[in-house]
C-alpha cells in the first residue's frame, strides 16, 4: 500500500490560504537576505537572493508548446521590505513581454530565501511549484496550476517536511529529490504518478549532511552531492555521484556498480574525489551532460568558508567523467564562495554564465556577470563577454532554465552584498550580446523587459 511522504493532503484547498495568494504584484522585486554570520569581510553570504539556492532545481523551464519560459523566484512586496513571496511568471518569446508576476504563496513572517521554490511541468502542461520548507519548523508545500500553462490560479496539493526541492517529471510521473533535517541535511527521494499520491520518502545519503545537485539525461537521473563532516556545513567537502535509471528502485555509482542506499560511509565507492584529505571545501554549482551523456559538474573549490582573501584561491572547476575516469579542469577564479553560476552544454559548445568578475562589493556574494566558453569539452576556457559592468550592486546566482531558450538563457538577481538594498531580476541571451532587466515597477499588464546591454 502506498504511503504518502507528505504529512498533510489538502482536501479543501480554500482553507489556510493567504489573502495575497494568486494576486498579481506591480513588478519584479527580488528578496534581499543576509545570513548574519559576519566577519571583517562581510557576511558569509548576503545580497539579492531571489534565485537562490543552487539546490533549488529547476527554477525556470522553457515550454516549447507555448513558446514561453516559466520561472519562479523569491520576491517581496516593496524595496523597503524583506517579506518573502513565492512568485511565478513567464517570458513570452513570441511577444517579448512579461506579465505582472503572480504570488503563488505568501511566506508571511519569513524573509529567508532558503524557502524559495522550484518549478516543474507535467506532460499536460500543468505547472507545479514546489515551495521549500526549512528544517521541521516550516513545512514545504506543493502547488499545481488549475489550467495548463496558466500562472493565474493554483491549487495547494500538499505540505510536509521537505527542503531544497528538485522535482523531475519523468515518463511515469515525478521523481522528486529533497532534503530532510533528520541527522543533519540528509538526502531523500520520493515518486508519484500524479503528484498527489506519493510513496514514502526513502533516504539516499546520510553521512552527517549534504548539499546536492541533480539532472536527467535520457531517462537517467544523476545526483551529485558533497559531505558535511560532523554535520558542519562550513566543512563541506568531497564530491559523490549516484545514478538511477529506474526511478530510484536501484542506484549505481558512475561505473554502474550497484550501491546500497542510504550511503552512510564517506569512503563509499560513490566518492568522486577526496577533497577532505586535501583540506579543500566544495561549493556545488551545476551538473550537466556531454554529448555522450557523461556527467559534467561545475563547482567552486575553496580553502576556507569565510569571505575574504584567506579563502583564496576560489577556483571554478569542471569535473568531467570521460574515458573511464574523472577529469578536472580550472575555469577561472573569483572572490566569494557563493559566486554561483551555471553550466550549459550543447553538442560541442560548452558555456558558463556566472558572477566570476569582482563586483562593487568585492568580497561579497556575487559580482559582475560574465560568459565563458570552451570548445574542447571544458579543458580550456576563455571569457567571451562580460554581461554586466559598472553595476551598483553585485549580481548573483545565475541559473540555467531547463531546456533553456536562446533568448532566456540565464536568470539572476542583484543586490548590495554589504547592506540591505532593493533587488532586481535579469536574464540574458545565449551568446551574451543582450541582457535584460525585468521591470521593477509595472503600469501595464504586459511589458517588455528593459534592455541594459
Residues lower than pLDDT 70 in the chain: 1-20
Which residue bears the cell 503572480?
102
CA atoms within 13 A on the CB side of 268: 28
pLDDT at 79: 87
Which three cell numbers, joined as nine digits, stand for 402?
531547463
Contact assessment for residue 325 and residue 307, using Cβ atoms and an 8 Å cutoff: no
Which three cell numbers, joined as nine digits, stand for 92?
513570452
Distance, in Å, from the CA atom of 440 to the CA atom of 127, rounded to the nearest integer, reads 24
Q: What is the CA radius of gyration of the chain?
A: 20
From the centroid of its chain, how far is CA 340? 10
pLDDT at 6: 43
**Which distant-in-sequence residues (6+ apart) come within 8 Å of 213 by Cβ?**
54, 55, 57, 166, 223, 224, 225, 284, 285, 286, 287, 297
Bridge partner residues of 441 (DSSP):
none
Bridge partner residues of 283 (DSSP):
300
pLDDT at 20: 59
pLDDT at 1: 36
Contact assessment for residue 141 and residue 128, using Cβ atoms and an 8 Å cutoff: no
**Which whole-number Å values give the CA distances from 193 to 60, 131, 324, in the listed order?**
22, 19, 35
pLDDT at 214: 98
- Between strands 349-357 and 368-374, the pairing is antiparallel
Q: Which residue in 43, 132, 56 sits closest to 285, CA to CA?
A: 56
Bridge partner residues of 89 (DSSP):
71
Distance, in Å, from the CA atom of 80 to the CA atom of 237, rounded to the nearest integer, reads 37
Contact assessment for residue 193 and residue 172, using Cβ atoms and an 8 Å cutoff: yes
Which three cell numbers, joined as nine digits, stand for 370?
560574465
DSSP-H helix ranges across 135-265: none
Q: pLDDT tens-digit profile of 21-31?
A: 779 999 999 99
Distance, in Å, from the CA atom of 131 to the CA atom of 115, rounded to the nearest integer, reads 7
Distance, in Å, from the CA atom of 211 to the CA atom of 230, rounded to the nearest integer, reads 14
CA dihedral 355, 358, 362, 367 (to 10 degrees): -20
Q: What is the pTM of this model?
A: 0.94
Residue 136 CB neighbour total at 10 angstroms: 11
pLDDT at 78: 87
State the Cα angle at 155 between 151 and 156, rounded to 5°: 120
Distance, in Å, from the CA atom of 230 to the CA atom of 208, rounded to the nearest integer, reads 6
Q: Which residue in 324, 322, 307 sits closest to 362, CA to CA?
A: 307
Distance, in Å, from the CA atom of 118 to the CA atom of 56, rounded to the nearest integer, reads 6
Distance, in Å, from the CA atom of 317 to the CA atom of 424, rounded to the nearest integer, reads 28
Q: Which residue in 5, 22, 15, 175 sits closest to 88, CA to CA?
A: 22
Contact assessment for residue 74 and residue 82, using Cβ atoms and an 8 Å cutoff: no
Distance, in Å, from the CA atom of 369 to the CA atom of 352, rounded to the nearest integer, reads 10
Bridge partner residues of 451 (DSSP):
436
Domains present along the chain, CATH in parentheses: 21-161+280-451 (2.120.10)
Q: Check residue 115 and report its DSSP letter.
A: G
Which three cell numbers, joined as nine digits, stand for 346?
550543447
Q: Check residue 134 and report its DSSP letter.
A: B
CB-count burial class (<10 Å; 0-12, 13-18, 19+) for 123: exposed
Q: pLDDT tens-digit profile of 147-199?
A: 999 999 999 999 999 999 999 999 889 999 999 999 999 999 999 999 999 99
Distance, in Å, from the CA atom of 282 to the CA atom of 300, rounded to the nearest integer, reads 6
Amino acid at each position: 500500500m502506498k504511503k504518502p511522504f507528505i504529512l498533510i493532503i489538502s482536501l479543501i484547498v480554500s482553507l489556510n490560504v493567504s489573502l495575497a495568494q494568486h494576486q498579481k504584484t506591480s513588478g519584479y522585486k527580488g528578496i534581499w537576505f543576509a545570513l548574519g554570520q559576519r566577519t571583517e569581510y562581510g557576511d558569509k553570504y548576503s545580497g539579492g537572493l531571489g534565485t537562490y539556492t543552487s539546490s533549488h532545481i529547476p527554477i525556470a523551464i522553457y515550454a516549447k508548446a507555448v513558446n514561453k519560459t516559466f520561472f519562479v523566484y523569491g520576491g517581496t512586496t516593496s524595496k523597503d521590505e524583506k517579506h518573502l513571496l513565492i512568485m511565478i511568471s513567464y517570458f513570452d518569446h513570441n511577444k517579448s513581454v512579461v506579465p505582472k508576476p503572480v504570488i503563488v504563496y505568501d511566506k508571511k513572517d519569513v524573509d529567508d530565501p532558503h524557502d524559495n521554490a522550484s518549478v516543474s511541468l507535467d506532460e499536460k502542461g500543468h505547472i507545479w511549484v514546489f515551495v521549500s520548507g526549512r528544517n521541521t519548523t516550516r513545512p514545504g508545500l506543493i502547488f499545481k496550476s488549475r489550467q495548463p500553462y496558466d500562472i493565474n490560479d493554483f491549487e495547494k496539493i500538499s505540505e510536509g517536511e521537505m527542503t531544497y526541492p528538485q522535482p523531475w517529471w519523468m515518463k511515469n510521473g515525478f521523481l522528486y529529490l529533497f532534503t530532510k533535517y533528520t541527522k543533519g541535511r540528509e538526502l531523500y527521494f520520493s515518486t508519484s504518478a500524479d503528484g498527489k499520491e506519493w510513496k514514502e520518502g526513502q533516504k539516499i545519503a546520510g553521512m552527517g549532511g549534504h548539499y546536492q545537485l541533480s539532472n536527467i539525461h535520457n531517462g537517467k537521473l544523476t545526483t551529485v552531492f558533497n559531505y558535511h563532516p560532523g554535520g558542519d556545513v562550513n566543512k563541506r567537502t568531497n564530491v559523490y555521484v549516484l545514478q538511477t535509471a529506474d526511478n530510484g528502485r536501484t542506484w549505481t555509482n558512475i561505473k554502474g556498480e550497484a550501491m546500497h542506499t542510504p550511503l552512510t560511509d564517506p569512503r563509499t565507492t560513490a566518492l568522486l574525489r577526496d577533497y577532505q584529505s586535501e583540506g579543500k571545501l566544495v561549493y556545488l554549482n551545476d551538473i550537466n551532460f556531454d554529448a555522450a551523456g557523461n556527467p559534467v559538474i561545475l563547482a567552486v573549490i575553496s580553502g576556507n568558508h569565510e569571505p575574504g582573501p584567506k579563502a583564496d584561491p576560489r577556483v571554478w572547476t569542471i569535473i568531467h567523467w570521460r574515458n573511464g575516469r574523472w577529469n578536472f579542469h580550472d575555469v577561472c577564479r573569483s572572490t566569494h564562495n557563493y559566486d554561483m553560476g551555471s553550466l550549459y552544454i550543447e553538442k560541442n559548445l560548452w558555456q558558463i554564465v556566472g558572477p566570476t568578475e569582482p563586483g562593487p562589493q568585492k568580497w561579497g556574494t556575487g559580482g559582475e556577470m560574465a560568459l565563458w566558453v570552451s570548445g574542447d569539452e571544458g579543458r580550456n576556457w576563455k571569457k567571451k563577454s562580460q554581461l554586466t559592468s559598472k553595476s551598483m550592486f553585485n549580481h548573483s546566482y545565475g541559473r540555467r532554465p531547463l531546456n533553456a531558450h536562446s533568448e532566456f538563457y540565464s536568470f539572476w538577481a542583484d543586490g548590495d552584498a554589504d547592506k540591505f538594498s532593493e533587488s532586481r531580476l535579469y536574464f540574458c541571451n545565449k551568446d551574451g550580446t543582450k541582457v535584460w532587466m525585468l521591470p521593477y515597477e509595472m503600469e501595464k499588464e504586459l511589458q517588455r523587459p528593459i534592455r541594459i546591454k
